Structure 1
């Protein structure tokens, strides 16, 4: 019964992954931007590579066979090749991708598919964004030297000029670095519609909060107007010359105010529109060398955008750590008086009680600073079990602690704490310390 259940589950996963692979590969080929170099069509971004990576990211090793079958069927359907040619072409397209994913699985462990934009970003960027495109192109060159393909696709297997090969290689870089997450989010939302709500609440809705709503709406409006001008059929040298740099400036301004998934999605959609409707964006670009330069600029800015976001998040994390350290006593690790000043709302309606430790100053001069820290920590360990969940203990300058108590009978509870402290003796290096306590 258990084996039958697993078999049915695996068949369902295979059917879903295979269907998504076939449908999305055909869709990706349809929306992929094209250009003509030496009377031959070439992709400016080969998006079937994004589909393969998305299926592998979502389904893991269970997506290997559906990807192979889906690529085989789409190649057979689109190019009308023989069985041997289709199999060889499939190997050149998928072998390096599967090897790169296997290396990532070996390096990063079982969770190599999780946290794509937050954890192990540079390892994935190296193996999938650099090694994989180069490996695919080398595999296709190697296959093209031993097998003959129809004239329609022979230019992708080495039968073309060097600049054609450069643009073809840049199209693979563009697909991985710009459009990979776009297809990943699309595929994952198809597999699990609940992910759309998670993506909205986690990465998009915070940008539309009260503090950032005005900036986000203005940013989207400026980007929409700019795309409308750059993608319009009306050709103008001023639009191409002066508005294209503004396109990069707009995305740079969004680094510190928008989440990276939201920024990455808008960047992918924007570049897709520019490369498909490039009458103004590529105005004056009449040679394949200029086209290669444009693709290289988009790839470079994509990496820079990711790097800027990582640096910004790192600096924000350090600022939070420094702010937390500024609100904490460095020796006792208790909240200090500055933390009490910055939390008036949380402590409103509560009783503030001052606990004074007699002889602490004198003892610390005799036994040293570490004895003072040991005494305060021992007192905290004694008091914390007697305090409620929403009550706090603050470190004050000198020999005093501040207790923030809530609830009725605060005076009786405070006296009970003082009695417990007086009944217990603190030891330092096997020496009992005579400490006195007073509270108000």
Structure 2
């Protein structure tokens, strides 16, 4: 075992030696240089970037192979020089860098070389970006005072002009500061498939998504144009060194466009091209001082850029933390409904299950709220080993949790999970509690508001389960599980199936005026199991299971199909349609109705929308707005069952409607009740003053008809006038 570990270490060090040898030789060849005061000088000594990158990547493991590789390369390059002088030159470079890295490890711990653009960025910039290059130059200067070097090496040891030494220090700082990160990241991308994939998925791919692609392409186009102008061999006074701030502005903006890490790599590539082609935009007669000033600008902007990258990374990290907190329930630490909504968008077409902890509410009253949270957290831990990738447990209200499963064998798996949950005991304060688990499942359908509707249905079904049938499917045919379900569950299944199959029937009951003019109120029926189901049976279920909007839109669509048919297209019959209270509370409900009529080319003035008193006088934003939009579109508004709710004379004075329908409780005994006569007469008088038509409901006798017309009622509705008839 020890022998294998030893050989692995040797192989690793040999690999580091080979990589370092190749990179140091290649980087020296491509290091940009120029002539300063008659002496060749590097504008960026890239072998220093390689040395720092290798130490950041492998740490102290790389110290020995990196030293051997550097010695081998420079003994070969400086073969004409004395080997001792070459070793002295290499020592002046390696000793400060390795010493600084050792100090960083001692001060910051073993993870000093991780997260170079994040938490450790500041100390790494100061230590490796400035301290190490300055120590290298100081050590070389001190060595040059006591040792004589050849003409090729002596300028680097201080035996030359002041300007040469300034630019030499700048070249070392630029090498360490600007070019070390891209070489480090390039090596990690080359050597680590996991990092390469993460770099693409996290740092690059998001900025080429459909939402960000245009902005990224525009930014890259602007960068390429400026780089082409600066590096073009055509000399132009327009693009000189004083225009560099424009390029800096592009990179500052780019921190949010292509991303922080990617921008550091692009800046290094751009800086290399600018330094290599510096004579194309540094046109001054005083080339040396202007070049030194330009390099100083590069160094200053690099520090600012790295600092902005660190701020951006920190802000992005905090945003991720806040985002995760926003998607997590603070008590159970389970993902909440926001997380479910986001999960469904990234993984559509799944199965949503509602697991109900039946006796949790009772136990929670005795053991406290924390016990509830503990039970749900333990449920998540129990199910986690049975879930496939991208299947998760979500927090839901009360005694329920939600489970997202992939479609395919889902019902069998859910039954197995429920059985596992029911077979276990929940430990709580040295007691073993028994929790009953029931579940309901349904397919997630696309569309606005579908999730809320499905959650309401599943919660209702989960509450109706029992020990004989602990799992109910929303889409299961009623006949297959009829014996195990309660009557309410079976009824709900049948109603939902009838609506899904379009088995909705419309009937019209006439509303007739004193001169014989009429319009019809639309009433609905459902065809279930070959028999007609009346509204008093299915409407409470529709309301309870949050199917109101869906039902009202089906009624509207069915009526429009009738009005668009060739048989009645030429007629001018008017109809009245009741909207359920929940429908008008939904944002955008009026727009959907208006869109249906526009697409069908049916005149909205032929339709009277009946709303309740509570809706008519509501101050809720969506309800009031929907009623207003319907009136503006041409629909007439009728107040149904007037007199039984919130109405009074003050509200009637400011009522914004066209018709009021007096509730039948004031009509049934009107021929024998003086109070009913007075109420109806006063309503009619004020309605006439406001220009409103009055409809009386439940008119069944001729005596009622004569009396109501005498009191000022305009229209009558009831079995005396006409019974509901099926629309053809």
Shared fold, TM over 0.5: yes
- 2:66 is aligned to 63
Higher alpha-carbon deviation: 270-279 or 394-403: 394-403
Equivalent residues of 2:355, 2:401 under 8 A apart: yes
Between the aligned partners of 1:367 and 1:14, the Cα distance in structure 2 is 61
Between the aligned partners of 2:110 and 2:170, the Cα distance in structure 1 is 31
Cα distance change of structure 1 residues 177 and 364 upon mapping to structure 2, 3 Å threshold = same
Equivalent residues of 1:354, 1:401 under 8 A apart: yes
- 1:52 is aligned to 51
Between the aligned partners of 2:437 and 2:187, the Cα distance in structure 1 is 65
Equivalent of 2:29 in 24, 27, 30: 27
Deviations along 1:117-175, whole A, 9 cap, x unmatched? Answer: 56744443333212211111111111111122345543332334444433221111011
Between the aligned partners of 1:416 and 1:47, the Cα distance in structure 2 is 60
Between the aligned partners of 1:268 and 1:168, the Cα distance in structure 2 is 19
> Matched residue of 1:238: which SS?
coil
Between the aligned partners of 1:211 and 1:379, the Cα distance in structure 2 is 38
Cα distance change of structure 1 residues 216 and 5 upon mapping to structure 2, 3 Å threshold = same
- 2:229 is aligned to 229
Deviations along 1:381-420, whole A, 9 cap, x unmatched? Answer: 5666777776543322333334456655849966993896
Cα distance change of structure 1 residues 41 and 323 upon mapping to structure 2, 3 Å threshold = same
Between the aligned partners of 1:390 and 1:196, the Cα distance in structure 2 is 22
Equivalent residues of 1:72, 1:90 under 8 A apart: no
Alignment of 1:122-161 (within 5 A): 122-161=122-161
Higher alpha-carbon deviation: 234-243 or 321-330: 234-243
Equivalent residues of 2:49, 2:183 under 8 A apart: yes
Cα distance change of structure 1 residues 144 and 235 upon mapping to structure 2, 3 Å threshold = same
Higher strand share: 2
Equivalent of 1:73 in 62, 76, 85: 76
Between the aligned partners of 2:428 and 2:27, the Cα distance in structure 1 is 72
Between the aligned partners of 2:338 and 2:169, the Cα distance in structure 1 is 57
Alignment of 1:261-272 (within 5 A): 262-272=262-272
- 2:18 is aligned to 16
Pair 1:417-2:418 in alignment: yes
Shift of 1:68: 1.8
Between the aligned partners of 1:98 and 1:385, the Cα distance in structure 2 is 48
Alignment of 1:393-404 (within 5 A): 393-404=393-404
Higher alpha-carbon deviation: 387-396 or 85-94: 387-396
- 1:353 is aligned to 354
Deviations along 1:31-88, whole A, 9 cap, x unmatched? Answer: 413242x4444322222322433555568132221212222332x24xx433443333
Equivalent residues of 1:21, 1:71 under 8 A apart: no
Between the aligned partners of 2:352 and 2:14, the Cα distance in structure 1 is 62
Cα distance change of structure 1 residues 165 and 350 upon mapping to structure 2, 3 Å threshold = same
Shift of 1:364: 4.5
TM-score by length of 2: 0.50
Q: Which has the larger radius of gyration?
A: 2
Higher helix share: 1
- 1:371 is aligned to 371
Equivalent residues of 1:35, 1:44 under 8 A apart: no
Aligned residues: 430
> Matched residue of 2:344: which SS?
coil
- 1:281 is aligned to 281
Deviations along 1:265-288, whole A, 9 cap, x unmatched? Answer: 322222222223234532447264
Pairwise CA RMSD:
4.4
Shift of 1:223: 1.9
> Matched residue of 2:41: which SS?
strand
Between the aligned partners of 2:147 and 2:435, the Cα distance in structure 1 is 90
- 1:314 is aligned to 314
Cα distance change of structure 1 residues 329 and 201 upon mapping to structure 2, 3 Å threshold = closer
Cα distance change of structure 1 residues 71 and 121 upon mapping to structure 2, 3 Å threshold = farther
Alignment of 1:308-347 (within 5 A): 308-345=308-345, 346=347
Between the aligned partners of 1:184 and 1:382, the Cα distance in structure 2 is 43
Between the aligned partners of 1:62 and 1:324, the Cα distance in structure 2 is 44
Between the aligned partners of 1:234 and 1:385, the Cα distance in structure 2 is 66
TM-score by length of 1: 0.78
5+ residue gaps, structure 2, are: 439-461, 464-728
Alignment of 1:212-251 (within 5 A): 212-240=212-240, 243-251=243-251
